Amino acid sequence: MENKKLLRISERLEKVAVQLELSFDAMLEEGDIDPRTFSDSVKSGRRRNEIPFYTMSSDLAGIVKRLEVVTSRLEAVAGSGGSGGSADVSVAEDSGYVKAGVKESVGRSAGGKKDVQVVLTPQVEKALAPFVKEYDEILSGVFAKVVSLSQEIGGDLSKQVVMVKEAFQAQREFIVQVAKCKEPSQDVLQKMLQPTAVCLTAVQSFREGNRASQQFNHLSAFSEAIPALGWVTMKIPEANDPMNPKPAPYVKEMKDAGMFYTNRVLKDFKDKDQRHVEWAKAWIQTLMKLHDYVKQHHTTGLSWNKAGAPATAGTSPPPTKGAAPPPPPPGPPPPPPPPPADLTSGSGGGDDMSAAKSALFADLNKGTEITKGLKKVTADMQTHKNPNLRQTGPVTYKPGSGPKPYSKPTTTTTPAPKLQLEGGKKWSVPAKENPPVLELNGKKWNVEYQKDRKDLAITEANMRQTVYVYKCENITLQIKGKVNSITLDSCKKVALVFDDVIAAVDFINCQRIQAQVIGKTPIFNVDKTDGCQIYLSKNSLDTEVVGAKYSELNILVPDESGEFTEFAIAEQFKTVWDPKTKKMNTVPTEVVG
């Protein structure tokens, strides 16, 4: 099909070239152009009135030459049969123009032919819908910066950005169809969106398959925010449904999901590599541009062309590298059921079966006459008219004479023994014991399931490492050196002693915790913790303590002699309305003993 289009375009170009040559010859015959004066007029400059004709003839000759080159290349492409090694030439024949400005690229295709890049003429750009042009501005602007920085950073990010780019390009092709076509049926719309859906799945699958990557935050920023391209599925009837938001707010929601990971990238590379910082900002800016674009052009849904042609589902793009293969085609339909048996045939039943069938059809053909063979019930046969029939005693049941009633089958199962404890206590199944862990995994120290240990220590920590303590009970942990952060999660009766922390010390879901800082730390975060004592050093008196849902939180501050003074942190607060400032004022309550 594409070869036929190319041949038709080649024929049209040849006609244009012939018309230009005829026009040039006619101008020569009429004397508008004098070839003998070309060189003299150019050298001397005396005959200035003929210079425009000389310029026109040169342009015409150049146009003819370029058209011949384009025609020959289109014929070569058509002759190659559209294989993978053919040149890549795109033509918009339905709009009545050809994408001109052909130029050769540096490389060659697999078949040895030169690749041809086709550039849009200004007339073509003018024919595009305004919202298609603005979408192209996003792709060629800030999104192009995202692609460039991703490839410059390299690693897994350079692989995933290829899938992200294909997703945006697939949506761009879909938006072009929206500008040209009427709104299709739901089945056709799903097929049109299939290329974009395949690309989105590829982006998210790549993140899931590379969780151990050092660029996991980058991959997650793409994976969590790429569903923003699903704004095209939001329809007008669903616009007021809280479960189906409008397109623009949906894009913003996905942008916020991606910002969770871009903030991590900004934090990790703020003072290390500015390329990652610029990448994170460019990706968020791309999503913001997409939000503004959708809000302006597709406020309540896609802006289909009501006067356009019927939409048809196109072919899906080639599978993205790293994406799962497409599902296999469905199998053949199940075989039809066997035809009903022919009651009129006598095969398989013998003579008796044929006779019985004949008698049955004969009785059916009698119609109302069939009841004549029935015996009439007289009055002496009826119980309510014959008293003698009512004197008969009831029928007595004889064991074994009738069907046996249903009885539940007996099973010989041994009941489970009841577990009872002294004092009326309830029985509880013992929890599964997990093996204790104290190891360095990458840049993270894992201390898990430790119990009744007072000699735990981490002596080789550095500022790039973090410490995570999980479900430990009745232990003492000492951390020597400067680390990035420390987190205690679901721990009981843990004593923590550490030197220096760069980021923060977090206590989450803990009970009866004691922590002492020898050096300095900027902040303590206490969340859902009951019973916490924090011993500050002289160098950490400016430490911030942020708490939520805590109880029995005490901070001990040293004096000049080294003795600690304990200060209890308020747990109850009083909130009142201030009519002057028109704000709610919250202050801790003072307990008077």
pLDDT tens across 77-125, in order? Answer: 555 444 433 333 333 333 333 333 333 333 433 344 333 333 444 444 4
pLDDT tens across 468-509, in order? Answer: 999 999 999 999 999 999 999 999 999 999 999 999 999 999
CATH of domain 437-588: 2.160.20.70
Give the mean model confidence (pLDDT) for residues 426-435.
68
pTM (2 decimals)? 0.37
Using alpha carbons, select from 484, 438, 477 the residue that is nearest to residue 461: 484
pLDDT tens across 29-55, in order? Answer: 555 555 544 444 444 444 434 434 444
Residue 24 has pLDDT above 90, yes or no: no
pLDDT at 97: 31
Are 529 and 546 a contacting pair, CB within 8 Å?
no
pLDDT grade for 449, boundaries at 50, 70 and 90: very high
Give the mean model confidence (pLDDT) for residues 228-234.
83
pLDDT tens across 383-417, in order? Answer: 877 777 776 555 555 555 555 665 656 555 555 55
Q: Flag the least confident range among 69-78, 324-333, 371-380, 513-522.
A: 324-333
533 or 318, which is more confident: 533
Give the mean model confidence (pLDDT) for residues 274-298.
89
Using alpha carbons, select from 168, 187, 166, 199 the residue that is nearest to residue 311: 187
Using alpha carbons, select from 559, 509, 544 the residue that is nearest to residue 530: 509
pLDDT at 272: 85
Tell me the range of 79-83, 154-158, 316-320, 435-439 where mean pLDDT is highest. Answer: 435-439
Are 76 and 113 a contacting pair, CB within 8 Å?
yes
pLDDT grade for 10, boundaries at 50, 70 and 90: low
Strand residue runs (E) in 449-491: 451-458, 466-470, 473-483, 485-489
Tokens representing 70 are 């384009």
Are 440 and 462 a contacting pair, CB within 8 Å?
no
CATH of domain 128-297: 1.25.40.330
Residue 185 has pLDDT above 90, yes or no: no
**Which sequence spans correspond to the domains of the chain?**
2-122, 128-297, 437-588
pLDDT at 333: 52
pLDDT tens across 318-369, in order? Answer: 444 444 444 444 554 555 555 544 444 444 455 666 677 777 777 766 666 6
Burial tier of 210 (Cβ tally within 10 Å: 0-12, 13-18, 19+)? middle
Residue 155 has pLDDT above 50, yes or no: yes
Chain centroid to CA 269: how far?
26
261 or 313, which is more confident: 261
pLDDT at 296: 85
Amino acid letter, residue 7: L
Q: What is the average pLDDT score of the chain? A: 74
What whole-number distance in Å separates Cα of residue 172 and Cα of residue 546? Answer: 47
Tokens representing 175 are 């938006």
Query: Partners of 116 in the beta sheet?
Result: 104
Residue 225 has pLDDT above 70, yes or no: yes
Residue 451 has pLDDT above 80, yes or no: yes
Residue 73 has pLDDT above 80, yes or no: no
Residue 417: phi and psi, rounded to 5, are -65, 140
Q: Which three-class secondary structure state does DSSP give residue 368?
A: helix
562 or 504, which is more confident: 504
Are 291 and 252 a contacting pair, CB within 8 Å?
yes
Give the mean model confidence (pLDDT) for residues 273-290.
90
Q: Flag the least confident range among 22-31, 201-210, 217-226, 325-334.
A: 325-334
Q: Which residue has the tokens 């721990």?
A: 491
pLDDT grade for 236, boundaries at 50, 70 and 90: low
pLDDT at 362: 73
